[in-house]
Amino acid sequence: MGSLGAIVKHPDDIYPLLKLKMAARQAEKQIPTEPHWGFCYLMLLKVSRSFALVIQQLGTELRNAVCIFYLVLRALDTVEDDTAIDTDVKVPILIAFHRHIYDRDWHFSCGTKEYKVLMDQFHHVSTAFLELEKNYQEAIEDITKRMGAGMAKFICKEVETVDDYDEYCHYVAGLVGLGLSKLFHASGSEDLASDYLSNSMGLFLQKTNIIRDYLEDINEIPKSRMFWPRQIWSKYVNKLEDLKYEENSIKAVQCLNDMVTNALLHAEDCLKYMSDLRDPSIFRFCAIPQVMAIGTLALCYNNIEVFRGVVKMRRGLTAKVIDRTKTIADVYGAFFDFSCMLKSKVDKNDPNATKTLSRLEAIQKTCSESGLLSKRRLGKKIQSSFLGIG
């Protein structure tokens, strides 16, 4: 549950938090008995409890495919993230990863904590993968191959331009969007979404994470991970790590706001993608992370704490988003409300204020023109709840 202080400040968090706790217990009870499937769902709970809860929305066949897709890509990401692996070892593994998923005997020890367990016992994931329907296997293999090649490319290349940034985010997250669209289509539940919109879904989430995780990435041992594009940060400081120093606070916040403004470019595409979904379970699975993303951007914008520690939505508000995001009206409402919060934080003296306001107004216009704002569940209360984050 959330911290006692936060619950005292926000007593209306209690019911959603209890529901979230019960859902987590239910997810644990539903872990399959077969050893390989049991391992996969237990790993899912350990590497991403929120994803493990959201995935419960899906029907069994699609849920299994998405679970394996997530773990395969999480394993691939673990190889990419491990800065202790020499490049000449790492690159061939990334490029060949799509073949390893067919090999029940393959594993590669890297990562830490639960990620090391995932890598050491990857044979369980491969075994489960080989039990999926062929169309699911082909979709997962295709995306894994493309993602591994893209990650390998950026091991040897820095993110210099905004185009590089978009390309990197495409490889590590946009392709996830494409893959999920393929899996939804393979299940017979959805039409195949366009690559463009699917890519935007991934980029919006990835750029939010890159913004939020600045300090963790820049302090990575033994080597910093740098994903903010030089084309943006070089307008404010000489080196990316300079943003974390107190004497650069004003420039750091301006750079942060520039990054958030860039991420907002994808919001309208995400709304379009979600408005086209037909299956309620797939809709919730897609919508909850997107609402969390725009909420996180609203929290990060103009917030020096991004350069001082961990910035994230409090657990009670996260529980509310999970509980109350059920329809496209809820999503339009949340995007509208979080855009209002962002707008209230824009300093007219910020170098990107005009651009930021223009993007926020475009999001609000899309939400208003849907004609559904009056039907949202999250409602205006989210604003006071959010602004009082503890």
> Domains in the chain, please, with CATH?
221-371 (1.10.600.10)
The confidence score (pLDDT) of residue 24 equals 67
For residues 274 and 105, what is the distance between their CA atoms, to the nearest angstrom? 39
Q: Which tokens is 196 given?
A: 């463009």
Q: What are phi and psi of 137, to 5 degrees?
A: -60, -45
CA–CA dist 188, 185 (Å, integer): 5
CB 159 within 8 Å of CB 207: no
Hey, CA dihedral for 177, 322, 291, 366, is it positive or negative?
A: positive
Q: For residue 315, how far is the Cα from the chain centroid?
A: 16
Residue 23 has pLDDT above 90, yes or no: no
In this prediction, residue 50 has a pLDDT band, given cuts at 50, 70 and 90, of: confident
Average pLDDT in the 329-342 region? 96
pLDDT digits (tens, 9 = 90+) for 135-165: 999 999 999 999 999 999 998 888 999 999 9
Chain segment 304-317, per-residue pLDDT in tens: 999 999 898 877 87
Q: For the residues 371-382, what does the mean pLDDT come to? A: 69
The answer to whether 111 and 78 are in contact (CB under 8 A) is: yes
Q: Answer yes or no: are the C-beta atoms of 150 and 170 closer than 8 Å.
A: yes
- Choose from 25-34, 40-49, 214-223 the range with maximum mean pLDDT: 40-49
Can you tell me the mean pLDDT for 81-99? 94
Whether residue 22 contacts residue 325, with contact meaning beta carbons closer than 8 Å, is answered with no
Tokens of 344: 């209230």
3-class SS of residue 101 = coil
Identify which of 82, 236, 215 has the alpha carbon closest to the alpha carbon of residue 151. 82
Residue in 190, 48, 66, 34 with CA at minimum distance from that of residue 132: 66
Give how far the C-alpha of residue 98 lies from the chain's centroid of Cα atoms, to the nearest Å: 22
Mean pLDDT of the chain: 90
Res 389: pLDDT:
40
Peptide bond into 35 cis (omega under 30): no
The C-alpha angle with vertex 202 and arms to 200 and 207, in degrees rounded to 5, equals 95
Q: Which residues are catalytic?
A: 168, 212, 225, 285
